[in-house]
Amino acid sequence: MPCGTLARDVAGPRSLLVGVPRWRPPAGRRPVPARDALALSVSDDMFPPTAPAVPVYPVPGVDRAVVAGQWSDWLRLVVRRAAAREPADVRGDFFELGGWPELAAAHAALDEPMRNWERERVRDQSPPCGDLWLTEFVNGLAGELGRPVRPFALVITRAPVHGSFWHRRTPTHVLASGTVLADTATFRAAFAPVARELA
């Protein structure tokens, strides 16, 4: 479920302050790959399939309707915490799921496949977009706008999903795939109108 929490997985936040882009280290947030491993169908789920792909892992005795509802609540919690740049629970996902017992039980059965997915994700992780052009771009807005750039903060959370995914969920929080964050031209096209609005 941190270009750098979902860097935090939903994978992590990046906080942009004018002239001072900063990254936070990734934290273990895995609602999206858990959704794919459990083959959950959630009506309000906007995320594409996980990248790298997660094989379906049958978990006996799972009430899929109940787990899907609890998964939606978990995802909202993770995304909200990413936007607020709250620290992850260092004990891991399981301890965060205490209020959702059916989801916690299903998630516990995914420990090995999730560890395998995490190793593959780290190995295939695209490098994040660079800081320098972001600083130059934001600072250059002063000339375009005809006034000094207002200080602003923007949190960009890397979502471990396939393809070009960019979703501005609030004025100061964006969810983006690694594909977008690793390609300067694609990222610039998506980032520019947001920066102009906030600056």
Rounded mean pLDDT for each run of 10 residues along the chain, 199 residues in total? 32 42 44 88 84 85 89 84 65 66 86 80 61 74 84 82 88 86 86 88
Token duo for residue 119: 């190793």
Q: Which pLDDT score is estimated for 166?
A: 92
Q: Which of 86, 85, 75 is nearest to 153 (CA)?
A: 85
What is the Cα–Cα distance from 56 to 36, expressed in whole angstroms?
6
Q: Which pLDDT score is estimated for 93?
A: 57
Q: Max Cα separation, the chain?
A: 62
Residue 122, helix vs strand vs coil: helix
Q: Which pLDDT score is estimated for 184?
A: 84
